[in-house]
Amino acid sequence: MVYRLLFELLVLAGAQVGTDWTSVLKKRSLFREAFSEFEAETVSEFMDLKITTTSSSYGMDVGFIRGVVDNSKCILKIKKELGSFDKYIWDFVNHKPIMTKYKVHHKMPVKTSKSEAISKDMLRRGFRQVGSTMIHSFMQAAGLTNDHLTTCSRRNLCAALVPCAPSPSSTSI
């Protein structure tokens, strides 16, 4: 399901703060195991014992795990309110990825007005650990923005994935 992938990317982007994507991706299977394959319904039911056990078993900060649990509850609220988490996220970009035109890395921002708007809305809804820089990283990972340099061979490959964006009438979870 799409929302599980988005939930996973949100968690991984949060784990990436202060480190690099390569380190986080090497631990991706551990994150999947620790957070019940990113099944928001299951994660939302984690109680204190499960949180502390997960922390000691997987070497994750308790505060980070509590944030993931809280975020899973927020995702479920959005699902109930708006029909799906993916629709909620993609609504911010009108269901079409933002195609940037950066030519050099040092011109690429770590946050944008769009990531700030998403961050503010998510914080208003009760999400945790969703600062604008982290949300920008999430947007890149989820394909909401294509920040590959104009000279990068991956740019066109990622642009070809555009049909993956749900339409406004999509009813996925």
Look at residue 78 and tell me if it is in a domain.
yes
- Read off the CATH number of the domain in which 81 is found: 1.10.340.30
The predicted model scores a pTM of 0.86
Q: Is residue 116 part of a domain?
A: yes
Locate tokens 């928001």: which residue?
40
In a domain, 172, yes or no: no
Indicate whether 171 belongs to any domain: no
148 annotated among ligand-binding-site residues = yes
- Count the alpha carbons within 13 Å of 14 in the hemisphere toward its beta carbon: 23
Terminal CA-to-CA distance of the chain, rounded, Å?
A: 7
What per-residue confidence (pLDDT) applies to 108? Answer: 73
| Count of structural domains, the chain | 1
Residue 151 to residue 127: CA distance in whole angstroms: 36
> What is the full per-residue pLDDT of the chain (173 aa) written as tens digits?
577 999 999 999 999 988 888 999 999 999 999 999 999 999 999 999 999 999 999 999 999 999 999 999 999 999 999 999 999 999 999 988 877 776 666 677 788 999 999 999 999 999 999 999 999 999 988 888 876 666 766 666 766 666 555 555 544 44
Tell me how far apart the alpha carbons of residues 110 and 126 are, in angstroms, rounded to a whole number.
23
For residue 173, tell me if it sits in a domain.
no
Q: Which residues constitute the domain of residue 7?
A: 2-164
Q: Is 105 annotated as a binding residue?
A: no
How many angstroms separate the CA atoms of 145 and 75, rounded?
21
The residues, ordered by sequence, that sit 6+ positions from 138 with a Cβ below 8 Å of its Cβ are: 9, 10, 13, 144
What CA–CA distance (Å, rounded) separates 48 from 96? 39
